[in-house]
Every structure is written in C-alpha cells, then in structure tokens.
Amino acid sequence: MKIGIIGAGSIGTTIAKHLAKAGYEVIVSNSRGGDTLTEKVNQINGKISSGSAQEAAQADVVFLAVRWEHAQEALSAVSVEGKILIDMTNANPQEFVLAEPGSKTSSEVVSQWAKGAKVVKAFNTLYAHVLAENPHTDNGNRVIFYSGNDEDAKSTVLDIISRIGFAGIDLGSLNEGGKFQRFPGGQLATLNLIKTK
C-alpha cells in the first residue's frame, strides 16, 4: 500500500515517520514543492520520498495534515476521488468549537471539499510530541480515535493504525465521532489513553 501525505509540518512529519517505520511506501508533499522536503525525507529511514501534492493524492490512502485554514485550498488543488482521505485537521472557528446540536462537524465539511473521497477522521486528538512517542508503552498501545461514514474505509484505517503500533477505537460516523474528536472543544481532545493487553 502506498500512502500520501499532504502537509509536512510537525504532524505530517510525525505520521510519515511512523508509516515508514512500519514498512509503508510513503510520499510526502507540501505547498512549496517536493524539492523543499529532500533534507527532511533523507532524515527518515524507510521507503519514503517527496513529491507534489497531486502525486501524494494519487496514493492508495491520503493523509490531510495541513492547518485548517489551508485545507480547502489544498484539496481544491488535487483529485482524491475514490481515495481514502484521513483528515488530521483541527478546526478552531467558533461554529465548530461551539457547535449547535445537529450542525456539521469539520470533517463533514472536509468531505464536501474532497469530492468523491471516503473521509475518515483520525490522528487529530493528540499533540504532535505525544503522537511522535513510541505507541507501545506501559504494557499497552496508545489509543487513536477514528470516525467515518464508510465502513470499508474505516477498516483500512484501523489496519494502518494497528500496523504502526497504536490501538484504534471506532467512534462511529463523522457526525457522531467528529464531535468527540473536536480539537479544541471535544471530550477526547488531548486525551492520551493506553489500551492495555
């Protein structure tokens, strides 16, 4: 499986390291072009390369790891139709942080921007420095929450979560789970849980 990452900041780089260590073929991208990431890629062991955002979007699974204010622009520049898109973004506008009952979550908005993609919300509730730590800890595995509307896509994402060493917990749909995953404002934001064996 080839995995693309759109966004090479602290979160995008952190997930790239976990994926490469687990043996995935990874392509990372940013808005400035793949050649600006050569040094960063060379510091990560494994089957990892840099490229354009569109090249990253052609992978089997695509991580969206940009700031919320850049998410719509990033998705408008690529085609992710038919892809599994893992939304790692965190929206801080008030309409999401203080969402009214029945309102859309930020990942539901992302699914509108990412035309034809199967969106799964995941890897967004932990700070980058916590996410970067060894997922195997204290006789268990660090928890990653995920939610989505497509069961097959969620199953694929759970496989990735498990293969890189985390324990996945399914929160349901983008609307149901996304509210718990909201960062800031959700009940699970920054919650660093360990699932013991």
pTM of the model: 0.95
Residue 23's domain is classified under what CATH number? Answer: 3.40.50.720
Rounded CA-CA distance 118/182 in Å is 19
* 53-94 pLDDT, tens digit each: 999 999 999 999 999 999 999 999 999 999 999 999 999 888
Give the span between the Cα atoms of 93 and 103, in whole angstroms. 13
Q: How far is CA 8 from the centre of its chain?
A: 12
Residue 4 is predicted with a pLDDT of: 98
CA pair distance 131, 143, nearest whole angstrom: 10
Number of folded domains that form the chain: 1
- Residue span of the structural domain in which 7 resides: 2-196
Who contacts 165 (Cβ-Cβ below 8 Å, separation ≥6)? Answer: 18, 22, 134, 135, 136, 141, 142
